[in-house]
Amino acid sequence: MSEGKSSNRLIDETSPYLLQHAHNPVDWYPWSDEAFLEARRTKKPILLSIGYSACHWCHVMAHESFENEAIAKIMNEHFVNIKVDREERPDLDQIYQTAVQFFIRRGGGWPLTMFLTPEKVPFHGGTYFPPEDRFKLPGFPKVLMSLAKVYHERSGDVENTAKQVLEAMTKLKKDHSKGTIDPKLLETSAVGLSRVFDAVNGGFGGAPKFPGTPALNLLLRHYEQSGEQPFLEMVTYSLRKMAWGGMYDQVGGGFHRYSVDEAWQVPHFEKMLYDNAQLAPIYFSAYQATGDSFFKAVGIEILDYVLRDMRDDSGGFYASEDADSEGGEGSFYTWSPQEVIDVVGEDSGWLLNRFFQITEEGNFEGKTIPHRSGFIQALAEHAGKTAAEVDEMIQSGKENLRIAREKRPKPFRDEKIIVSWNSLMIAAFVDGYEVTRDPRYLSAARAAADFILKQLYHEGYLLHTFKDGAATLNGYLDDAAYFSGALIDLYEASAEEKYLNHAIALADDMIARFWDERDGGFFYTSTDHEILIDRTRPIYDQSVPSANAMAAEALLRLFYHTGETLYFEKAEKTLLAFAAEIEKNPFSAGNMIAAADFYLRKPKEIHVSGDLDATETKTLIANLHQLYLPNKVLSFNRPAFSSQRNWMNPERIEKKTTLTLCQNFTCSQAMSDWDEIQKQLLG
């Protein structure tokens, strides 16, 4: 935004993405009744543009078209133009991402460019359009003029297309479920995923390549269920390759959005809170499954990056960091050999350049995105040093490079605090605390949860986002489901019952305002939400987990904590409502399959009794969290549902530290010997 430029209606918004367009010559409206009334008054179609602040191609289209006076003139003359931040309005993004596939016959993406009737129904759409014919795409001005002509001269065709889009979206919602869940769902899904596993680079598929975290989690779950080593090896190989590549920020920690190549070397440089919130836990899980400290170290680096660079003083976590900075895309993250030497000196510089494969030729626009291959031991032998000495030099050098990098122009940071994404990160910090016992991580999880409860939770209603001192927008299903699950995590890590009680209240509200009485499962928007052309029920994982999957899992966990059968019934109906769909597409339904696995196999109910401040109790709990147990619930000095029926009364809790394990409504005797406990837990 430059001083002296006129502003449009977006100047009054709080979204950083919308504010980035507040000085465009385009006469932008935010999504509002005013915009649709204007479209009806002027008999113009709507041009809807959806993006987000860290989106590189959104910036490209903005610079090429929305800042272009001639193109803006066409837009203003022939359309009512609406700009939407998809992070503020994921409900709109879900609807129109589904609709765009009707026009382009492939996946959508951002920027999303849709053309709507004043009734909000799309009659054409696409994603990025260049300013002139390029990349086998028509130029944006040509598209604008063509559609404006069609809208006014062929209104019957427009109405027919809009009708077909609505019919297609309705057809997608029809219930195709067979109403049962295959007991071998986890096994068949894992085997199916193994067939598309990339044995060379790890992960799944070719370029562009995303982490596929839910799919990796399924493979790890199946290893825990079956003990079949190849499934574990697919996970650990993938996690190593990702953490060694350029998609991982080798200097500052944290993962970029995805890799543009199949070998994880060149990333799309934006960093999203939700990606790192999903990746940290699977690295901790891999550590629990293998005992290999490499995976724990990566998880720690992710969390430390978030604490350092993505945390607000209030305790909330910011949304994203941009791909671009003043030097261009990725310039903040790339290095030349001499730049490294200038920071750390000749000896350490030689070592770091070798370790991170930083060369004169580079691998990205004449410089190098740091990446590593091989192990420290090989480099130590070459340098005539011990592995410990080399590791110390690398860690020290990385920190010096990070400090030096801070002097560069930094990528823009979107400082929205989004409840659903924060909830994923709260869960990640809980995982980090449980594995490492680092109190900073539990403190960060508590602070973020307490911030949401104070600022975004009012009179039983959860809001979606916080920016500039204000909480705005109705909460969506993922806000309620993710936050409920995160609060259960916090209870199981801290033994503070207030978090469990808040999770119960949230679940009750979620059932009351989001439940689909006709078909089962949950709608994405609440009963009191704005009426749109569709009310979606999200099944599949996208960039974030399926909201219905997370809702089902949270309800199942609450059932085992409280004995409230309503929670079990709603979770079961949710899973049954989508059973057929999730069997067809395990790669996109990873979190739903994980919830089904929790439902089918039933969790290990672990009940710890004793003085929670006693050393022996702390040691027992710390030992528990060194084990990979994906299906478990944990309670303290408060017998949960099955315990009340089969174990003991609260009045009989012993002061001695003991653990009782329940499953399928049958409980063990109280145990205090760790070897016996571990045998029972892993049996």
* Res. 649: pLDDT tops 70: no
185-326+414-601 and 9-172 share a CATH fold = no
DSSP SS3 for 202 = coil
The pLDDT assigned to 171 comes to 81
Which fold is adopted by the domain 185-326+414-601?
Glycosyltransferase (1.50.10)
Pairing of strands 80-85, 46-51: parallel
- Conformation bin of residue 509: beta by default, left when phi > 0, alpha when psi is -120 to 50: alpha
- Predicted confidence at residue 178, as pLDDT, reads 63
First to last CA, the chain: 61
- Tell me the average pLDDT across 422-447: 98
Under 8 Å between Cβ of 119 and 52: no
pLDDT tier at 177, thresholds 50, 70, 90: low
pLDDT digits (tens, 9 = 90+) for 404-421: 999 999 999 999 999 999
**Average pLDDT for residues 111-123, to the nearest whole number?**
97
Could you give the CA distance from residue 559 to residue 44 in angstroms, rounded to a whole number?
52
Q: Mean pLDDT throughout 421-431?
A: 98
For the stretch 243-262, pLDDT in tens is 999 999 999 999 999 999 99
| Amino acid (1-letter code) at residue 427 | A
Q: Give the burial class of 305: count Cβ atoms within 10 A of its Cβ; 0-12 exposed, 13-18 middle, 19 or more buried.
A: buried
Tokens describing residue 440: 């900073």
Whether 646 shows a pLDDT value over 60: the answer reads: no
**Dist CA 615 CA 420 (whole Å):** 35
Q: What is the DSSP string of 459-479?
A: TTEEEEEEETTEEEEE--HHH
For residue 81, give both structure tokens.
Answer: 């133009």
The structure tokens listed for 358 are 């930083």
Q: Give the three-state DSSP class for 320.
A: strand
Residue 255 sits at φ, ψ, to 5 deg, of -100, 145
Domain boundaries, the chain: 9-172, 185-326+414-601, 333-407, 604-682
Angle of CA points 515, 520, 521, to nearest 5°: 60
Q: Which candidate, 316, 261, 681, 655, places its Cα nearest to that of 483?
A: 316
169 vs 28: CA distance, rounded Å: 28
Please check whether residue 497 is in contact with residue 512, taking contact to mean a CB–CB distance below 8 angstroms.
no
The number of angstroms, rounded, from the C-alpha of 580 to the middle of its chain's C-alpha atoms is 24
Of the listed ranges 129-138, 161-170, 174-183, 453-462, the one predicted with least confidence? 174-183
User: CA nearest 500: which of 567, 573, 444, 433?
Assistant: 567
Q: What is the DSSP letter of 205?
A: S
Q: What are the angstrom distances between the C-alpha of 140 and each of 78, 110, 151?
A: 13, 15, 16
Report the chain's C-alpha Rg in angstroms: 26
Model pLDDT, residue 639 = 53
For 516-541, what is each residue's pLDDT tens digit? 999 999 999 999 999 999 999 999 99
| 648 confidence band (pLDDT: 50, 70, 90) | very low
| Assigned CATH topology for domain 9-172 | Glutaredoxin (3.40.30)
Reduced to 3 states, what is the DSSP secondary structure of residue 292?
coil
| Nearby residues of 551 by Cβ (< 8 Å), 6 or more positions away | 477, 480, 481, 484, 510, 514, 522, 571, 574
Task: Return the pLDDT at 174.
Answer: 66
Whether residue 15 contacts residue 473, with contact meaning beta carbons closer than 8 Å, is answered with no
- Dist. CA 653–CA 670, nearest whole Å: 10
Q: Which of 260, 265, 220, 219 is nearest to 242 (CA)?
A: 265
Looking at residue 64, the DSSP 8-state letter turns out to be: I
Burial track 557-578 (b if 16+ CB lie within 10 A, e otherwise): bbbbbbebeebbebbbbbbbbb
Lowest-pLDDT range of 158-172, 178-192, 195-209, 627-641 = 627-641
**Amino acid in position 136:** K
pLDDT band at 375 (very low <50, low <70, confident <90, very high): confident
Which residue type sits at 162? A
Please, where are the H alpha helices in 456-578?
477-494, 497-514, 547-562, 565-577
Structure-model confidence comparison of residues 465 and 652, the more confident one = 465
HSE of 296, CA atoms in CB hemisphere, 13 A = 18
Instruction: pLDDT band for 237, please (50, 70, 90 cuts).
Output: very high
